[in-house]
Amino acid sequence: MAAGVPILVAEGTPAAELVGPASVLSAAAGPSRWAEGLEPLLSTTVIDWSG
């Protein structure tokens, strides 16, 4: 993962999801493949903005 890129993690997210295959794709795989790997995590993440 690129240095300096902020990551939002939902409270209670299992560590296994954070270090799954999406996090170890090489740069050679291209950004679209990396984004596809994150899609399952992002599609299930709910952000509560109510504070």
pTM for this predicted structure: 0.27
> So what's the pLDDT on residue 20?
55
Residue-wise pLDDT tens digits, 1-46: 555 665 666 666 555 555 555 555 555 566 777 777 777 777 776 7
Question: What are the structure tokens assigned to 6, written together?
Answer: 């902020």
DSSP string, 2-37: -TT------TT--HHHHTSGGGG--GGG-HHHHHHH
> So what's the pLDDT on residue 5?
60
How far, in whole angstroms, is CA 15 from its chain's centroid? 11
3-state secondary structure of 39: helix
